[in-house]
Amino acid sequence: MNFSAHQIANFVDGEVVGDQNCSVTSINPIENAEPGTLSFLSSPKYSAYLETTKASIVITSKELIEESKFKCTLILVKSPKDAIAHLISLHDQMNSKPHKKGVHSKAEVHETAQIDNSVFVDAFSIVDELSSIGENTQIHGQVYIGPKVKIGTNCIIYPGVKIYKDTQIGDHCIIHANSVLGSDGFGFNPDKEGVYKKIPHLGNVVLESNVEIGANCTIDRATLGSTKIKEGVKLDNQIHIAHNVQIDKHTVIAAQTGVAGSTKIGAYCMIGGQVGFVGHITIGDKVKIQAQSGVARNIKDKSIVQGTPSIEYKNYNKSYVHFKNLEKIENRLRKVEKELKSNQ
């Protein structure tokens, strides 16, 4: 990568302030950027770095430079985050390896499986009977694809992924290393003696298009019907989705979150890390749930919640003022109790 400020401004529809011919070869964070690098500033928290950064070019907005002194060349845009994301995507496309095709000699593909000629299946991967894989999909090494699995076009399945029977995956999906789709749900019934008997899970997992699953996630098959991850959902690493859960379109969930069986999560939700959901509840659309919350009941559309059990975000902040003063309050109560006893 070697681009001038003028060229970069054209990519992101920005305005150059400074040297139009200033050039860069890489992208770095503003706090430790070196000469010859491009950086960006999107938060007023980091505005002070404009005065000290060694970056040659910084992408930012007019609102963030009004009171700042700077030596570098600037490119002013409406949204620095959108601009840098676009540039990183272009950089990735320019530096990506050529698309591979064909089945590696050490891969195993069942004779009844249907694989497009543009698909790549790497070494030690298995594609089982009656499965199908669409155009331009990339299957990395040591992936297991079970019977009757359907995978759409332009998907990337990273090493070590295990996809159980009957799973359906849409187009443009990405599944990162060692994730498991379609394993049995945690379903057991105690008999008269209290011995737990396994409940067979006969359903499947359905991923719609443009879904991304992080590394080491587990998505369980439904007892009956389908566990559904809808269009555009993004899951971080180490997330567990239990049987018959439904996650509606364009919801994002951060790492180490667990969703118990038959819970429904709405569209466009933002869920922080280490959140726990009980089963059989419904979360509305555009809900925000803060990290480490415990969700034990239904949540209405556009709510913001925090805590265990989760409560409305503003109420949580008000309550927290009292939480951290509990020791002082207790000491005051003990003092009052002593004074009352001494006056009796």
> DSSP code of 13?
T
Q: Where are the alpha helices (DSSP H) in the chain?
A: 5-12, 80-95, 313-323, 326-342
The answer to whether 167 and 146 are in contact (CB under 8 A) is: yes
Tokens linked to 203: 């359903």
Enumerate residues 6+ apart whose C-beta is below 8 A from 275: 253, 254, 257, 258, 289, 291, 292, 293, 294, 295
Residues annotated as part of the active site: 243
Structure tokens at 336: 């009052």
User: 80, 40 in Cβ contact below 8 A?
Assistant: yes
For residue 95, count CB atoms less than 10 angstroms from its CB and return exposed for 0-12, middle for 13-18, buried for 19 or more.
exposed
The residue among 202, 119, 204, 129 whose CA lies nearest residue 169 is: 204
Which amino acid is located at 188 in the chain? F
Contact by Cβ (8 Å): 209, 249 = no
**From the centroid of its chain, how far is CA 127?**
27
> How far, CA to CA in Å, does 271 sit from each of 205, 247, 265?
21, 12, 10
